[in-house]
Structure 1
């Protein structure tokens, strides 16, 4: 018995020593604890770091998706902090913040292997001392406001495996990253980097450079990137041919080259890699035929290929430009000669300039007298014309210069930046997202199908719409339209799943659309709840209406063919946490009525419905009938011809005192035009947007300068 107690005592002692050793390794050194408190202070005590005190055990914090600290042997090896900044242009840190001081403190955590500082509002140039993190493997500084060039010292961080700097304000040339031989993931998207394509190591698995200022050609040696699975260089101005090897890489799965100036033709003999599931070459200057592995007759359901907006030879396709268009645009996109040719050209120009200078000077002397004599006459003519235009100008909204609305501007195409890549979901993923279509997740059900709330694997909350497609075939064109329904002012489609089933000897298909979900309510909710309404002063309402207009503009002109008949209603305008407008419930082809793109009536009906929303925004009143629209419209129309105080009496009382009269007057004018009873006389969405942008410019200028000449505040 005595031997048993002796053995038991030894066992207890051993367990105690093990626990003591574990606790000692999990406790931070006092110096690193002080560093974390300094980080909290420099970041100005963000919400995610609230609650820290002298008794906080940083190695055993409660789980939070926004904060993670991992310790080893008394040192921090991983620090992840995720804030809530929504835009690089918005500073949530004060002028006292110093990014240099911040990294001076942070680099004292010399054992860090993972550093993620996301959406914290960090601003200023990235300091050279970043390379003091000698052991760092993952550096994620995405979604901040860091500006200037990327520090060349980052090229010496040879342990880096993942470098994520997307969503900042970086500009200039990317430093040489070839020496980062361990680098597998690089995301520099949504910056202003360029014009040269960066020099990269060939061990990359994922490369994202979308929405930058790249204007060079693609490197030809893509065949060396054996491990590359994803490449996204969309929304740049990259020119030249597409390297054939890009689609043939052994590991490649995702290729997005959309919205560039890539030209020439693809080799028809390309053999795509077996893992390739998505390729987007749309909105470039490509000609000729597509290779069979990414062609229009593609039969594989596991590969999505998007190719609209080129000059490809595809029988029956309506979304391609004529070949002459691409040839012309390619010529305009040709870069000027560089290097020695540019220098020799400058020398030649200088010599010619010197020789010709004397001739030009003598000619100028002869012309000066003639120009002086004509000057007075020309000024008189100009003054006469100016008076004539002013006298004949009607008192309604300002007309926008005529443009070809079928040509989609680059700024419109770039508006999907920030959205996750479009993808094809599997049936298992949809079942997992909805918890096997649990009835508790069913949000609504109607003749068009069911709508569920769901959670996809990255943690995002989404809306999942299930629609049965009876007697309809889903074509490649339909898939392209769905994948292009992505804009920052739309509730965007982020993916789909197509499920076929046999029902009474008839094959039916169910199309499952995965869309964004927003929980901040609708514009109507904000205009009817007095507490929310107080937040929506005139500048905020203007920003919201411009967002709606841009969403409608994308539906009308950002796709070929345009989408009309969108049933625009104020309760379908959703607002995100930053009060940015999102148009929902629009006409998705294949699900709802496919409106003929030449149907001008449907286009003008969208304009009328937007006019009703403008009417509610101006007056603050909920409109439920056509009679109410006409009554309020007549009131506004009368107020324009009377004293400014009359217009003030019609506007929402909660915005009085927050608008410049000229800003409100311009918005009222375009609203009345939108509500014209004759559809053909209603303005285009471009005209509406132009007037709203003019209105907010007047408002902003007046607010910033206090110049009453721009408008009187009411």
Structure 2
């Protein structure tokens, strides 16, 4: 639905703006096109150009469109492969846009999936006639330059799926803008000022944090609004549902809370509504549950009382989470601060004036006394140097009061670095066979020791020569970001290419932290050698795994899916913090394709929705073994144990306790156990579309921990309830 809306409006804009090609290009603009071809490193859509190419009458191609009017290029649309890597280090985004702006008559500029990287230069405002700008699905980072607000003729602006961060500049001056798509970046937390003429507004998957602003009330032409996957808070204003033109509305996966009024009106044009994964309470309004077959409403994973309870949190969950959600500090008391500003400035002015007068009096007195002291100090100038000078004491950080996650981020890992081949050979003792830990589908893994004594793991992967430099640049950027509390994190890498031997593959060495305390399987399989994991420890470990998966999916771009998770790959450090190892590091295999998943794969029951739901399924398998204490070696054992849990859940508490790992007896609240079992079964659904998202997994596990904490604090530990 979302793609079709953007495509519809963009296609309409393109059709209305740009006529068919007429005339021939000037030699100057022909040279510019050849320069563009070179600067973007000859992508497939631009290959085959020569001195006889007639750019104004190219054959139809979905990946390239050039439209000419009166001997000038008025549209340039290039679409690369969705998996296009970042361009090489030789690429200069400044030089690229300097060249492009020489096409002075451009009305439509679309550069999608070309591997462009670097900050968007301010000189983009040289496009005087631009009406459509689409630079989505690249690696452009930094802030959006404020000069982008100077395009008075702009009707469509698409900057989606890049690495933009920070605040969005004021865009309310773009009075003709109909489509704005900033989705899939790191923008926020403040919302920008926008024009009221928007038809499509897409802000999904960013870091915007505020209440839904009142400016949306004036967007009378808005048909498509997507603000999902942000941090919007507070109640949902009723005007958002009754906007006269709204057809598609996605508010999912925010922190919106409160009860929806039962009598709120819905626009008759509203065809799709998603309010799932928020903190909403009360009943679903009657207009949402309209019997109209044309309207799709998704409301799962709130705390609503008149819908399917299996897909809702308990009411207490939303209450607790809503209390934890606070508005941004800078927005609190803004109005009162504005009212008092004049008074405060007046007081400050008076104080400053008084201080200045006192200072002048003191200065006069000091100067007079200095004259009298000159002779006394004439022969003793070292006296002031003998007076000890003390700097302001630095506050002592009490690490006991710093949150655990913050301590881990501060104390944890050394900075990411690029190693030399000498350092790699030295660490592994020239890849001595005794240091070989295992063979994986992506290559060998060795243990090693850095020169400072740190023990590490070194993964060796051979790559085809042709993969460099274009493929590797993207992977290296992602690789450097794979650092998280719940991952076996990447410390650095080394790339070795043998230029004198063209048939010898390039080798990349990935240096990872070493975790020596064993795997989760070790703790469950042989607790005589390890400590027995009680229920609170097991839930803390599983929520750590879930947060690690969430980081792989959303913490890097592009997300990392299909990680072949299993209980052997969950390592525990000395503090029993879970760390995912052997996840799908984004490197091409020896054949240049994605390496196949290894190990026990039990997702054959249907993983058509892709790697996200596959990882959720495998997480459910881990959770199943954590709850029962039984290790699963086959799909048959999985099906039998899952069925046993489903039956026990239906038969009641005593039966469910009987299938739980006996070693956790007396350490859990039954409500915590029941919720964990229910959610495990949901994760293991055969239909991927029925499995929860990883965000829903985390929310439910947090609930089990809240219930457990309340039960423990009431003195119930050691009893069974």
* TM-score normalised by length of structure 1: 0.50
Give the distance between the partners of 1:315 and 1:25, measured in 2 at CA. Answer: 59
Counterpart residue number, 1:301: 293
Aligned CA distance change for structure 1 residues 279 and 413 (closer, same or farther; 3 Å)? farther
Mark the CA change 1:74 to 1:340 in structure 2 (over 3 Å): closer, same or farther: same
For residues 289 and 38 of structure 1, do their structure 2 counterparts lie closer, same or farther at Cα, with a shift above 3 Å needed?
A: same
Q: Which residue does 1:324 correspond to in 2?
A: 316
The CA distance in 1 between the partners of 2:161 and 2:298, in whole Å, is: 25
Residue 209 of structure 2 corresponds to residue 215 of structure 1: yes
Could you report, residue by residue, the CA deviation over 1:591-650 in whole angstroms, capped at 9, with x for unpaired residues? xxxx9x9999999898734999xxxxxxxxxxxxxxxxxxxxxxxxxxxxxxxxxxxxxx
User: Hey, what does 2:224 align to over in structure 1?
Assistant: 230
Residue 74 of structure 1: aligned partner: 71
Pairing 1:206-285 to 2, within 5 Å after superposition: 206-285=200-279
1:286-329 superposed Cα distances (whole Å, 9 cap, x missing partner): 1111211113xx32211111111111121552221122211211
Report if aligned partners of 2:625, 2:632 keep a CA contact under 8 Å in 1.
no
Tell me, yes or no, if the aligned pair for 2:159 and 2:181 is still in contact at 8 Å: yes
Structure 1 pair 324–63 and aligned structure 2 pair: CA distance change class (3 A): same
Deviation, structure 1 residue 171: 0.3
Q: 1:102 to 1:406 in 2, by over 3 A?
A: closer
Q: Select the residue among 44, 52, 61 that pairs with 1:47.
A: 44
Change beyond 3 A, Cα 1:154–1:606: farther
- 1:233-260 Cα distance to aligned partner (Å, 9 max, x none): 1111111111211110111111111110
Q: Does 1:197 pair with 2:194? A: no
Cα distance in 2 between the residues matched to 1:235 and 1:402: 28
Distance 1:166 1:610 in 2: 44
With over 3 angstroms needed to count, the CA separation of the structure-2 counterparts of 1:28 and 1:316, relative to structure 1, is closer
In 2, Cα distance between the equivalents of 1:136 and 1:155?
12
1:608 counterpart residue number: 634
- How far apart, CA to CA, are the structure 2 residues paired with 1:322 and 1:187? 35
Q: Which residue of 1 aligns with 2:460?
A: none
Report what 2:133 is aligned to.
139
From 300, 306, 317, the equivalent of 1:314 is 306
Say yes or no: does 1:171 pair with 2:307: no
Aligned positions of 1:101-112 closer than 5 A: 101-112=95-106
| Residue of structure 2 in register with 1:290 after alignment | 284
Contact 1:124 1:146 in 2 (8 A): yes
**Partner Cα distance (1:239, 1:215) in 2:** 7
Report what 1:692 is aligned to: none
Deviation at 1:393, TM superposition (A): 7.2
Shift of 1:403: 2.4
- Residues 395, 114 of structure 1: alpha-carbon distance in 2 compared, 3 angstrom cutoff: closer
Instruction: Give secondary structure in 1 for the equivalent of 2:321.
Output: helix
Indicate the residue corresponding to 1:525 in structure 2: none
In 1, Cα distance between the equivalents of 2:136 and 2:112? 5
CA shift in 2, pair 1:536/1:55, >3 Å: closer
Q: Distance in 2 between matches of 1:33 and 1:609?
A: 62
Tell me whether 1:338 sits opposite 2:338 in the alignment.
no
Equivalent-residue separation in structure 1 for 2:561 and 2:319 (angstroms):
31
Aligned partners of 2:21 and 2:56 also within 8 Å: no
The whole-number CA distance in structure 2 between the counterparts of 1:249 and 1:157 is 27
**Residues 414 and 240 of structure 1: is their aligned pair in 2 closer, same or farther, counting only changes over 3 Å?**
farther
1:36 has 2:28 as partner: no
Q: Distance in 2 between matches of 1:321 and 1:394?
A: 31
1:403 — aligned with what? 539
Please give the alpha-carbon distance, in whole angstroms, between the structure 2 residues aligned to 1:229 and 1:23: 29
Deviation at residue 333 of structure 1 after TM alignment? 1.6
**1:154 corresponding residue in structure 2:** 148
> Does the aligned pair in 2 maintain the 1:573–1:582 contact within 8 Å?
yes
State how far apart, in whole Å, the 1-side matches of 2:75 and 2:47 are.
19
In the alignment, the residues of structure 1 paired with residue 188 and residue 633 of structure 2 have an alpha-carbon distance, to the nearest angstrom, of 39
Counterparts in 2 of 1:313 and 1:223: CA distance versus 1, 3 Å: same
Q: Contact 1:190/1:417 (CA < 8 Å) preserved in 2? A: no
* 2:89 matched residue in structure 1: 95
Distance 1:535 1:610 in 2: 34
Distance of aligned partners of 1:330 and 1:410 in 2 relative to their CA distance in 1, 3 Å threshold? farther
Q: Which moved more, 1:211-220 or 1:112-121?
A: 211-220
Aligned mates of 2:592, 2:154 — CA distance in 1? 46
Cα drift, residue 127 of structure 1: 0.5
Question: Which residue number corresponds to residue 353 of structure 1?
Answer: none
The answer to whether the 8 Å contact 1:85/1:121 transfers is: no
How large is the Cα RMSD of the aligned pairs?
Answer: 4.7
Unmatched runs of 5 consecutive residues or more in structure 2: 1-18, 338-343, 345-391, 397-514, 525-532, 564-587, 639-679, 685-721
Aligned equivalents of 1:24, 1:340: Cα separation in 2: 55
**SS of match in other structure, 1:264:** strand
| Cα distance in 1, alignment partners of residues 178 and 135 from structure 2 | 16
Report the CA distance between 1:545 and its aligned residue.
5.0
Question: Aligned with 2:324: secondary structure?
Answer: helix
- The corresponding residue for 2:511 is none
Q: Deviations over 1:375-419 (max 9, x none)?
A: xxxxxxxxxxxxxxx99979964779622769995786799889x
Contact 2:25 2:56 (8 Å CA) reproduced: yes
CA shift digits 1:627-683 (9 cap, x unpaired): xxxxxxxxxxxxxxxxxxxxxxxxxxxxxxxxxxxxxxxxxxxxxxxxxxxxxxx9x
Deviation at 1:338, TM superposition (A): 2.3
1:185 aligns with 2:185: no
Against the structure 1 CA distance between its residues 602 and 52, is the aligned structure 2 distance closer, same or farther, given a 3 Å change threshold? Answer: farther
From the superposition, tell whether residues 203 and 573 of structure 1 become closer, same or farther in structure 2 (CA, over 3 Å).
closer
Q: CA shift at 1:198, angstroms?
A: 2.0
In structure 1, distance between residues paired with 2:255 and 2:38: 47
- TM-score normalised per structure 2: 0.50
Task: Determine the C-alpha separation between the residues in 1 that align with 2:113 and 2:517.
Answer: 53
Aligned partner of 1:559 in structure 2 is: none
How far apart are the structure 2 equivalents of 1:303 and 1:536? 45
SS class of match (1:207)? strand
Secondary structure of the residue that 1:53 maps to in structure 2?
coil
Question: Alpha carbons of 1:180 and 1:607: their partners in 2 closer, same or farther (altered >3 Å)?
Answer: farther
Unaligned runs of 5+ in 1: 1-21, 348-356, 362-389, 419-485, 491-531, 553-565, 588-594, 613-681, 687-714
How many angstroms apart in 2 are the aligned matches of 1:392 and 1:133?
Answer: 59
Which residue matches 1:56?
53
In the alignment, what sits opposite 2:569? none
C-alpha spacing 1:213/1:604, structure 2 compared with 1 (3 Å): farther
Q: Corresponding residue for 2:112?
A: 118
